[in-house]
Amino acid sequence: MSIIHVGQIWYGYGWETQLLETGFLSIFLCPLLDGRPFPRCRPPLLVIWLFRWLGFRIMIGAGLIKLRGDPCWRDLTCLYYHYETQPIPSPISRYLHFAPHWFHKFGTAWNHFIELIVPVVFLRATAGTPHRRHACS
C-alpha cells in the first residue's frame, strides 16, 4: 500500500504524483560523493530532459484541462468573475475586476497562449540546445 492509496481523494488531483516525480528526478541532479553546492560534473542529460518533459506536461495539462472543463475558458469569459472569487486576492484585484471585458478576454487568451503554445515552442527550441557544461572525466 502506498501513500497515494492512503490519501484517497486528496491524492487524486495529480500534483502529488508530480511532486513525487520531481523529488525523484532531483536525486540525480547532484553527484552522491561531491559535497559542493555546485558540483564539477554536470547532471545526466537524461535527467535534464526528464525535467523539461515534466514541465511541458504540467503546463500542457493545465491548459488542456481548462479547455476541456468549464465553458467559460473556451468563450474567454473566466476572468469576468475570477477576481471576486479567487482564494487569496491581491491588492489590485478590485481594480482588475472592474477592468473592461476586452481586457479580461485578452487575459484569458494570454493564459491559453502561455499554457498551450509556449511549452511546445520551449520544448522544440531546447531540442537542439547542447548541454554546455563540461563532463567529469
Mean pLDDT of 2-24: 71
- The domain locations on the chain are 1-42, 44-129
How large is the greatest C-alpha to C-alpha distance in the chain, in angstroms? 61
Could you give the percent of the chain with pLDDT greater than 90? 24
pTM: 0.74
Contacts of 109 (CB under 8 A, 6+ apart): 76
> What confidence tier does 11 reach under pLDDT thresholds 50, 70, 90?
low
Residue 72: how many CB atoms within 10 A of its CB?
15
What cell does 18 get? Answer: 508530480
- Give the Cα separation of 51 and 62 in Å (integer): 17
pLDDT for residue 135 is more than 60:
no
The better pLDDT of the pair 136, 82 is held by 82
**Own/partner long-range contacts of 13-18 (Cβ < 8 Å, ≥24 apart):** 14/61, 18/54, 18/58
pLDDT for residue 107 is more than 70:
yes
pLDDT for residue 116 is more than 60:
yes
The candidate with the shortest Cα–Cα distance to 15, out of 66, 67, 57, is 57
Classify residue 37 by burial, with Cβ atoms within 10 Å: 0-12, 13-18, 19+.
exposed
Classify residue 31 by burial, with Cβ atoms within 10 Å: 0-12, 13-18, 19+.
middle
Residue whose C-alpha cell is 475570477: 82
* Interval 26-77: pLDDT, tens: 888 877 777 777 777 778 888 888 999 999 998 998 899 888 888 889 999 9
Contacts of 126 (CB under 8 A, 6+ apart): 52
